[in-house]
Amino acid sequence: MGERIKLTEHSKKGGCAAKWAPGDLETILAGIMESTDPDLLAGFETSDDAAIYRLSEHQAAVLTVDFLTPLVDDPYDYGRVAATNAISDVYAMGGKPLCALNTLALDCKLGTEVAAEILRGGADAAHAAGIPIVGGHSIDDAEPKYGLCVLGLVDPDKVVRNKGAQVGDKIYLTKPIGTGLLSAGFKIREIGIEEFQCAIDSMCELNRAASEAMLEAGVHAATDVTGFSLAGHLHEMCEASGIGARIDFDAIPQFPGAWELAEAYCRPNRTFSIMDFAAPFLRDECVDLSEDELDNRLAIVCDPQTSGGLLCAIPPESAKAFEASFEARAGRKPTCIGEFCEGEFITLV
């Protein structure tokens, strides 16, 4: 490839940290007419991960599109992360991916080799999910963007939504938190590629094991943790389910270095708008902590994730079965970070 290109130097904000803020999105969509088609089982008026459209009594299409700006330098890794992240929304709804289309915006000056590497990464992620990429669309654009439009299938009676969580359900998270912090640290070379690699590997891991395990365990509700952070996506589940949540902060799995970067105030810009968004519903009960510590905890739970894990509401009697089933597929345990409770707040303890 001659001079090795560094993709993160071509983007202002990386990955899902480049999303519009959650509040803004609601305002934008408020003016758009909702569909009255009875076969549309989930549209954009709920905050579900994908649209669900009934095809027949036992089959519904799961439709989603997601694309990212680069948060890694290597074009192949970028392709893999973006595609894995896009397919995740199908898994989060309890669906099985079927096929996908590429969406690519890339500066033609970067050359065909870079484009080919990005698409090869995407194709490898799709291959790991057992699906083909069957077409796509590309444009010449100064800032790179890549992702997939994914079609999946689901039984209309077995759709997993972000509503349906019940008081007492265990809250499981299947990947560590901190991709926003680590990629922000990597972008300004506060950390090197060796320290960033654990997050890259995680972002390349499909949420397939988590999805299969949660379905087997009779999950009540789920979503994947992406650009709105753990707090934001958990809030969507709480709000849709009409309940609150208690989270044991120390139980939240973090990538090594995430806390240190939060302490060093090396955060994605997006974190601050998520903190503002979360302020009305997020409380920290650990009042004996210093102001800095409380702020760092916020930086972790409000860290925008790219290709994060699934957040699952598992009935307590199925918790052990879920853990065993996930471990058998993924080779590690999922983490129980708290439980759903009465109320409307997310309380950190």
Fill in the per-residue mask, 188 to 207: x = in contact with Co ion (CB under 5 A), - = not in contact: --------------------
Query: What contacts 21, CB < 8 A, 6 or more positions away?
Result: 270, 273, 274, 277
CB of 89 to Co ion, least distance (A): 4
The CA-based diameter of the chain, rounded to the nearest angstrom, is 59
The active-site residue out of 16, 149, 204, 302 is 16
Active-site residue, 204 included? no
Q: Which is nearer to Co ion, 136 or 168 (CB)?
A: 136
Least distance to Co ion, CB of residue 172, Å: 16
Name the residue nearer to Co ion (CB basis): 144 or 227: 227
242 — phi, psi (to 5°)?
70, 30
307, 71 contact by CB (below 8 A): no
Separation CA 42–CA 25 (nearest Å): 17
Residue number, nearest CB to Co ion: 49
SS3 for 138?
strand
Give me the 47-76 binding string for Co ion, x by CB under 5 A, dash otherwise.
--x----------------x----------
Choice between 171 and 261, CB closer to Co ion = 171
Sheet with 96-106, edge to edge strand ranges: 40-42, 51-56, 59-68, 145-154, 96-106, 133-140
CB of 109 to Co ion, least distance (A): 29
For Co ion, the closer of residues 159 and 191 by Cβ is 159
**How many C-beta atoms surround the C-beta of residue 201 within 10 A?**
11
Q: Which stretch, 45-53, 202-210, 288-296, 321-329, contacts Co ion (CB under 5 A)?
A: 45-53
Backbone angles phi, psi at 198, to 5 degrees: -60, -35
Least separation, in Å, of the C-beta of 241 and Co ion? 16
Stretch (H or E) spanning 309: none
DSSP labels, 78-132: HHHHHHHHHHHHHHHTT-EEEEEEEEEEE-GGG-HHHHHHHHHHHHHHHHHTT--
Tokens, residue 23: 């509040």
Q: Least separation, in Å, of the C-beta of 143 and Co ion? A: 19
Instruction: Give which of 243, 236, 212 is closest to 95, Cα–Cα.
Output: 212
- The smaller minimum CB distance to Co ion, of residues 228 and 326, is found at 228
Nearest distance from C-beta of residue 66 to Co ion, angstroms: 4
Site for Co ion in 257-316 (CB under 5 A): none
Structural contact between residues 171 and 337, judged by C-beta atoms closer than 8 angstroms: yes
Nearer to Co ion, 64 or 183 (CB): 64
Number of residues that bind Co ion (CB under 5 A): 4
Q: Which is nearer to Co ion, 224 or 339 (CB)?
A: 224
DSSP H helices, 166-281, are 179-187, 193-203, 208-216, 229-241, 258-263, 270-278
What stretch of H or E contains 223? strand 221-224
Q: Which residues inside 209-228 make contact with Co ion, applying CB under 5 A?
A: 224
Structure tokens at 302: 């409000």
The nearest distance, CB 20 to Co ion, in angstroms, is 12
Please give the radius of gyration of the chain, using alpha carbons only, rounded to the nearest integer. 19
Among 73, 74, 89, 323, interactor with Co ion by CB under 5 A: 89
Query: Catalytic residue positions?
Result: 16
* Site residues, Co ion (CB under 5 A): 49, 66, 89, 224
